[in-house]
Structure 1
Amino acid sequence: MSTFTTRDGVEIYYKDWGTGQPIVFSHGWPLNADSWESQMIFLASKGYRVIAHDRRGHGRSSQPWSGNDMDHYADDLAQLIELLDLQNVVLFGFSTGGGEVARYIGRHGTGRVAKAGLISAVPPLMLKTEANPGGLPLEVFDGIRQASLADRSQLYIDLASGPFFGFNKPDAKPSQGMIDWFWMQGMMAGHKNAYDCIKAFSETDFTEDLKKFDVPTLVVHGDADQVVPYEAAGVSSARLVKGSTLKIYPGAPHGLTDTHKDQLNADLLAFLKG
């Protein structure tokens, strides 16, 4: 396996396919690099080098007790980019991974970055506050933490068979394969790491990070997202990132990298070529 060790001793797994302009994908919670495989195989076949890592504590990476926060996630991403000496790189982040990309740019700048994409992403801030009335109440995330401690395997089944892919909609046609795939990736994550990551993705404010974006940025969100509200997330992020392109997918759920993969793949390719 391809791995590297971070400065604080965490082993990070990554996959590196194809040749051409590099694209690095940051995954959502509680998933891993495999969650991007539909986009990776498509774009690698179109002449791009595609790279995705398992965030610390997720997938095939090691499971540190501490350091499960956005600053560490962003620094791990920076170390991967430096290790492979990537230049003119495109960063795509899904959900929690969108926060990772935003914090990377906030902490490390865009010297190596050509473009960025935020897909169903958590920025600018998921948590409801006085300054962010469109966010979700803290009780929602406390409930996820309680469910994780009580029976996280069932939590992942419930998320995948319900709001994540929109399979709880009356006209939905649930895919048992997608549900199982989500559950399997979730169970590969460390229990403590996945638990800590709930705070990281919900309470981190990325407003100032987004203001530092100075590269072409694509923002994609489904208007039927039951996990990350699109107006408080995608619409607000696009407003903060100067010159960004916002695409709202009508009827699309949170997990649109799978449910709307053909549409997303076409839009990503057009964005890369544009």
Structure 2
Amino acid sequence: MPHATTPDGVKLYYEETGSGTPILFVHEYSGDWRSWEPQMRFFARRHRCITYSFRGYPGSDVPEAGSMYGQRHAVDDATHMLDYLGIPKAHVIGLSQGAFATAHFGRLNADRALSLTLAGVGSGAGREGHEQFKRDARATAQRIRDKGMASYAEGLKSNPTRSRFKQKDPRGFEEFVKQLGEHPDIGAANTMENYQGKRPSLYDFEEEWKKLDVPTLIICGDEDEPCLQPSLYLKHVLPNAGLAMFAKTGHTVNIEEPDAFNREVWNFIALVEAGKWTPAEPLDKDAPLI
């Protein structure tokens, strides 16, 4: 089993396939390296594709200390995956928790990103409710310690941002829940407490976002209510960002609507590599309104 060992000694499980310009996939809280299988199969036709598990997730080491987890660890681990594989620059694609890591990867390592895809980004990161979100995350971490991940996964079946996935693809949704229930309790609780429960708001970095001109695609399901406003916000502040909204779609957009997701990202990467994904022209105040 292939592993990349981080500078602080954590082994991260990864898999890769295909050849060409590299793509690094960064998973959500409720996913792991397996979450990107529809994308690994599709994009490997023209790209070198890498998927990996965060620390604390299946296949990777599960540190017991909470101090070994957090948003900065996730950003650094994504960077280390590229370093370990000898990749100077890559297209980086993240979902949810992985989209937070991807955004901050771009903010801190813009020279390593060919492009950024931020899917299902921003839950709990708005100007209102951010502190409550962090308190809720820490309480959820304790419930995971008390009852385990199988119970957490079962509870996700009634989450409104996942309900459309369950309706569209019952078989795929059951696989998703089963895999989630396999996550190590310690790693899941530590991630929930120290990443979700401590991460800063996206809105805290507005001046830095305004300077990040890396080509960026934001994808949001229109039924992923917690991510709607943050997605619009990032579209507004990032100078070279585009926004794709998927109708009747929830949070787990890459496996709920894999064909639509793959087509959207495929087109985005093609435009980036052709040099045609560029910032919008400045508004001409004297131009006709219509």
The TM-score normalised by the length of structure 2 is 0.82
Checking the alignment, whether the CA contact within 8 Å between 2:164 and 2:248 is kept in structure 1 is no
2:202 is the counterpart of 1:204: no
Distance 1:147 1:44 in 2: 39
Deviates more, 1:69-78 or 1:211-220: 211-220
| 1:175 aligned partner | 170
The CA deviation at 1:157 is 2.0
Shift of the 212–10 alpha-carbon distance from structure 1 to 2, 3 Å rule, reads farther
The CA deviation at 1:143 is 4.9
Shift of the 231–173 alpha-carbon distance from structure 1 to 2, 3 Å rule, reads closer
Shift of the 142–9 alpha-carbon distance from structure 1 to 2, 3 Å rule, reads closer
Aligned counterpart in structure 1 of residue 188 of structure 2, from 175, 191, 194:
194
Checking the alignment, whether the CA contact within 8 Å between 2:70 and 2:198 is kept in structure 1 is no
Q: State the superposition RMSD in angstroms.
A: 2.3
The CA deviation at 1:264 is 0.6
Letter in 1 for 2:128: P
Checking the alignment, whether the CA contact within 8 Å between 2:152 and 2:181 is kept in structure 1 is no
Distance 2:228 2:237 in 1: 13
Distance 1:116 1:201 in 2: 21
SS in 2 for 1:82: helix
Unaligned runs of 5+ in 2: 272-290
Q: Give 1:235-246 correspondences, 5 Å limit.
A: 235-246=232-243
Distance 2:165 2:179 in 1: 21
Distance 1:42 1:166 in 2: 25
SS in 2 for 1:257: helix
Q: As a proportion of its length, which structure holds more helix?
A: 2
| 2:141 aligned partner | 145
SS in 2 for 1:23: strand
Distance 2:129 2:249 in 1: 19
Q: Percent identity?
A: 24
| 2:220 aligned partner | 221
Unaligned runs of 5+ in 1: none
Letter in 2 for 1:201: Q
| 1:53 aligned partner | 52
Q: Give 1:54-69 correspondences, 5 Å limit.
A: 54-66=53-65, 67-69=68-70
The CA deviation at 1:256 is 1.3
2:77 is the counterpart of 1:76: yes
The TM-score normalised by the length of structure 1 is 0.86
Distance 2:125 2:269 in 1: 31
Checking the alignment, whether the CA contact within 8 Å between 2:165 and 2:173 is kept in structure 1 is no
Task: Flag as ranges the 4+ runs of structure 1 deviating above 4 A.
Answer: none
Checking the alignment, whether the CA contact within 8 Å between 1:134 and 1:232 is kept in structure 2 is no
The CA deviation at 1:273 is 0.3
The CA deviation at 1:251 is 1.6
Checking the alignment, whether the CA contact within 8 Å between 2:117 and 2:216 is kept in structure 1 is yes
Q: Give 1:81-96 correspondences, 5 Å limit.
A: 81-96=82-97
